[in-house]
A and B are shown apart, each in its own frame.
Chain A
Amino acid sequence: MRTGGLSMDQAPPLSIPASFFLTIPLGILFAGYFMFTSIAVSFGSPWTAQTLALAHAGTLGVLAMGMVGALYQMTPVIAGVPVPMARLAHIVHGLLLVGLIGFLWRLVDGPDYAMVISIRSFSLALILFLIPMAWALARPATHNETVQGMRLALASLAIISLAGLVTARGFAGGPFPDEEMLWVQIHMTLALLGWVGGLLLAVSWQVIPMFYLTSTFSKSSRQWLLGLLFMGLVLTLASVFIDIGFLSRGQTAAVAALPAAVAAWLLHPVFVLRNIAGRKRKRSDASLLFWNTGLVFALLLIPTALAALFIYDPRWQVLFGWLAIWGWAGTILHGMLSRIVPFLVWFHRYSARVGLEPVPSMRSLLSQRRIQVGFFLHTASVLSGSATILIQADMLAKLTGLLLAATAVSLASTLVHVLKRRK
């Protein structure tokens, strides 16, 4: 038997996750800008400045903003331990924003010093984020698989940051590292499967049963998925020391990640989709559209990754990145925001009055219609972007840019609508 002893100040103020979440539409707008202003053929290779800018608008501007903000909120709630010096989150947020803008500016013909500023901002932001978060997750009040997944995500973030910063020096007037492709492959694999995959799987085990009333995920399935994820990431890192003659070093690292890819992009989507389909009380919820669609995009990732690895056409590599960042992780993140932000607003503004006076229901804070509009715009932009990459028609790139901008406006409007609710 344990006795609880938390105080009010252990939960972070709403302003912390909200500030990160409110910046996400800006990342989507940047992505839309790059799509709209570039000729479609720019997205025919993963190494053009436009593709790199698009990818990092998604990873740094959208996914990282959402995930870092979510970790500040989730750690006390799920792990039962406060994040020390949580107010530093506002500085972390500002530094991430400066780093993002410097990074994207350099890639679109900005000066080298833009990347220098970006590297310094990201480095400081990561130190201020990782150390308190690691301290908290090293002392959880509960040791469930969600906490383990959060730890795996955090460790992966530390490694991908190092690999990313080393590679980014090449854009800041310094040298690109030897074996650059290997660094990039490790950066990408750990980013998508460790940082994003680790957190997404861990969060899904909590929020899917909690918000959608599915059966809970069995302990053994959670342990298997975590084990496969961990194995794939370790093998990817070990591949640095392996030389298989008929595969390049980058291909070897990608193949080594297969167990993690199977966990995140095959088994997890199948388990979650099965649980969602088997709900006993099938209450309509527009945010589920995002989960279902994002998980279907996940199922496309292994075939697309194999095509990217073994077909000599770089469009497959770009398509893989697009589907992973904006199709799988981006779609699920967008859906989570539609569900989590009303919950946070309800929790911070109304829950203290429950049982003492009437309070609005959480569902009344955000209409299903708004969520549906966001879903259709988001999904349309994923499909249009995929067509842009494969067909390389300028009109499609412009359409995708407009759809991304519309998605950003829709999400921003939704977030502001919910966050300004006070009565």
Chain B
Amino acid sequence: MEKTDPRGLPETSADPADIVDLRGLEAPEPMVRILAACAKLADGESFNARLPHIPFPVFPHLAARGLAWETEELADGSAIIRIRPAS
């Protein structure tokens, strides 16, 4: 069974306090929020979000903007993405 913290987020390698939950948004709003947030990322900062599934379509845009990302697929099919400027 999936472990969850008191705020309802499954245990992941990202700090739950830093995860923006984008699951309740209509497509393409999650992508808009991710790209808008990432446009303001400074070196050393990261943006973490939880989505209903792995956001494959956003990856090329992140790459084109010089960003690095990691994803983690959770047991319920949702996914955590952590984005930071590529070093």
Residue pair B31, A4 in contact (C-beta under 8 Å) = no
The answer to whether A354 and B56 touch (CB under 8 A), given A3-B70, A4-B69, A283-B26, is: no
Residue pair A4, B52 in contact (C-beta under 8 Å) = no
CA–CA, A281 to B69, complex, Å?
31
Given the complex, which residues of A lie within 8 Å of B26, measured CB to CB? 210-213, 283
Residue pair B52, A216 in contact (C-beta under 8 Å) = yes
B38 to chain A, nearest CB (A): 7
Residue pair A141, B63 in contact (C-beta under 8 Å) = no
For residue A245, CB closer than 8 A to chain B, the reply is: no
B8 to chain A, nearest CB (A): 14
Given the complex, which residues of B lie within 8 Å of A283, measured CB to CB? 26
For residue B24, CB closer than 8 A to chain A, the reply is: yes
Number of contacting residues on B, CB 8 A? Answer: 33
1/0 contact string of B60-81 vs chain A (CB within 8 Å): 1111100011111100110000
Nearest A residue to B31, CB-CB: A351
Residue pair B71, A2 in contact (C-beta under 8 Å) = yes
For residue A302, CB closer than 8 A to chain B, the reply is: no
Residue pair A354, B35 in contact (C-beta under 8 Å) = yes
1/0 contact string of A203-227 vs chain B (CB within 8 Å): 0001001111100100100000000
1/0 contact string of A266-306 vs chain B (CB within 8 Å): 00000000000000110100000000000000000000000
In-complex Cβ contact of B72 among A2, A211, A281 (8 A): A2
Residue pair B54, A80 in contact (C-beta under 8 Å) = yes
In-complex Cβ contact of A206 among B24, B53, B60, B71 (8 A): B53
Residue pair A352, B64 in contact (C-beta under 8 Å) = yes
For residue B17, CB closer than 8 A to chain A, the reply is: no
Residue pair A209, B52 in contact (C-beta under 8 Å) = yes
For residue A144, CB closer than 8 A to chain B, the reply is: yes
In-complex Cβ contact of B70 among A4, A11, A142, A351 (8 A): A4
In-complex Cβ contact of B31 among A1, A7, A80, A354 (8 A): A354
B35 to chain A, nearest CB (A): 4
A276 to chain B, nearest CB (A): 14
CA–CA, A80 to B71, complex, Å?
12
- Most chain A CB within 10 A, of B40, B56, B72, is at B56
Within 8 A of A (CB), among B1-42: 13, 24-28, 31-32, 35-40
Given the complex, which residues of B lie within 8 Å of A11, measured CB to CB? 57, 60
Nearest B residue to A285, CB-CB: B26
CA–CA, A232 to B59, complex, Å?
38
Given the complex, which residues of A lie within 8 Å of B28, measured CB to CB? 343, 346-347, 351, 362
Residue pair A1, B72 in contact (C-beta under 8 Å) = yes
For residue A78, CB closer than 8 A to chain B, the reply is: yes
In-complex Cβ contact of A142 among B37, B38, B54, B61 (8 A): B54
Residue pair B76, A219 in contact (C-beta under 8 Å) = yes
Given the complex, which residues of A lie within 8 Å of B72, measured CB to CB? 1-2
| Other A-B pairs, 12, CB within 8 Å; known A78-B56, A354-B36 | A2-B72, A4-B59, A4-B69, A6-B56, A80-B54, A144-B53, A213-B25, A347-B57, A354-B31, A355-B35, A355-B36, A355-B37
Residues of B within 8 A of A (CB): 13, 24-28, 31-32, 35-40, 52-54, 56-57, 59-64, 68-73, 76-77
Residues of A within 8 A of B (CB): 1-8, 10-11, 76-78, 80, 141-142, 144, 206, 209-213, 216, 219, 280-281, 283, 343, 346-347, 351-352, 354-356, 362
